Structure 1
């Protein structure tokens, strides 16, 4: 799995360039749907897979352009575990193929201060 991490302070302003990044999908981990909604407003070409553990958020995200909301049990402090679990889920469902490149973003708040995976944009390749 190839991983490039770029830490940013305000992730939402980075996404208008999403169509120029050459990614096949965008994974968003969200509790209330805010980041998925912001991404949707930019009308990116790749599909936005929004993973949430809140059914109300999942239902609300059905109304957002280009968003495919999925209800999953997110792991509180294990962002890498969340990414691995959801990549495997999407791969098993046949929604993404091996060698596809995925942008990963999150608006989940970490439970402890030193969790840098929550404060980053990651680009990963499906294996």
Structure 2
């Protein structure tokens, strides 16, 4: 969907117009739901936990002991933002995938087997995504 590469686009059925229409209808439905609740912008409902509906927990052994009360708690902080207030820094040049792509060059360019073992931290959330993109290009 997000590629302009003709080779990759051949793999996907549909047209760009289908994607445009899909997102247009999603936006229209969101607009209608907001209007039904008396709002005009998504920003107006961010952090408003009163709008969330609680359902009874399912009777499943995995659900026993789960407590979501803190997710539904609305703190009394009238002057504190409850949503995004500053841009995060995402240094794309320093992500682990750059190192993976470099180490995987023999496999990518000459189809030689490689074995890579690197530590992954919690900030490496999409490890392998850029490498898989390189594989897809070939």
State TM-score, norm by structure 2: 0.18
Which structure's relative contact order is higher, taking Cα pairs within 8 Å and 6+ residues apart? 1
Determine which structure has more spread, i.e. the larger CA radius of gyration. Answer: 2
If each structure's strand is expressed as a fraction of its own residues, which one has the higher value? Answer: 1
If each structure's helix is expressed as a fraction of its own residues, which one has the higher value? Answer: 2
State TM-score, norm by structure 1: 0.20
